[in-house]
Chain A
Amino acid sequence: DIQMTQSPSTLSASVGDRVTITCRASQSISTWLAWYQQKPGKAPKLLIYKASNLESGVPSRFSGSGSGTEFTLTISRLQPDDFAIYYCQQYSDYPTFGPGTVVDI
């Protein structure tokens, strides 16, 4: 299976900060990567698909980049609603998720 790792595991930030989360795959997945945001007690919400495509309705402060084995999710100006856990997920092979990055204050 394809293993996904994320760094950092926890990120402390403030409103207005630029935040970057890195996701790495154990083998090349081309651009078959999605990013999700999850808040406590809720299902994950799709943010980005195919590494850099913004899902409909997602604010433009979210962006994704990368290909092969290394990917990033960037939040350009952190808003109060963005404090959450972020997961990457590959779908080049049977789906696997990264362990998550907690973005907190």
Chain B
Amino acid sequence: QVQLQQWGAGLLKPSETLSLTCGVYGGSFSGYYWSWIRQPPGKGLEWIAEINDRGSTNYNPSLKSRVIISVDTSKNQFSLKVTSVTAADTAVYYCARGPLSYGYNLFDYWGQGALVTVSS
């Protein structure tokens, strides 16, 4: 059974860098795309970026200038950094698996979610 477990800082000040990591347990890491998705409180879902085990990436154009997604295949982990955060980046952040072997995916396994709050 595939499980995604995520962790990272939950409270940031404006202009700081958001950093989250997601570990994948109980299944294959290769052959899939791994994504970050966020959901502001009480609002809808926004896809941020995806990466595969070979480091191929795709980004949401609206966030691309501030986002870095990376992968560590030795640990079956992938990570997200968002620079220069503002209150608008306050959201629950989810990691998720894309089952298709090519980019631009749907999401069949999700992490538990992590609330990141940006406040001065």
A residues engaging B (CB < 8 A)? 1, 34, 36, 42-46, 49, 55, 87, 89, 91-100
Question: Cβ of B7 < 8 Å from any Cβ of A?
Answer: no
B residues engaging A (CB < 8 A)? 35, 44-47, 58-62, 94, 96, 100, 104-108, 110-113
Assuming the contacts A1-B61, A43-B94, A43-B112, asked whether A98 and B107 have C-beta atoms less than 8 A apart, the reply is no
Q: Out of B44, B60, B104, B111, name the residue touching A91 (CB < 8 Å).
A: B104
Interchain CB contact under 8 A, B45 and A44 = yes
**CA of A72 to CA of B58 in the docked complex: distance in angstroms?**
28
From DSSP, what is the main secondary structure of chain B's interface residues? loop
**CA of A97 to CA of B40 in the docked complex: distance in angstroms?**
13
Assuming the contacts A1-B61, A43-B94, A44-B110, asked whether A95 and B44 have C-beta atoms less than 8 A apart, the reply is no
Interchain CB contact under 8 A, A43 and B47 = no
Interfacial chain A residues near B106, Cβ < 8 Å? 34, 46, 49, 89, 91, 95
25 A-B residue pairs with Cβ-Cβ distance under 8 Å, sorted by A, are A1-B61, A1-B62, A34-B107, A36-B107, A42-B113, A43-B94, A43-B96, A43-B110, A43-B113, A44-B94, A44-B110, A45-B110, A46-B106, A46-B107, A91-B104, A93-B104, A94-B61, A94-B104, A95-B106, A97-B45, A97-B46, A97-B47, A98-B44, A99-B44, A100-B44
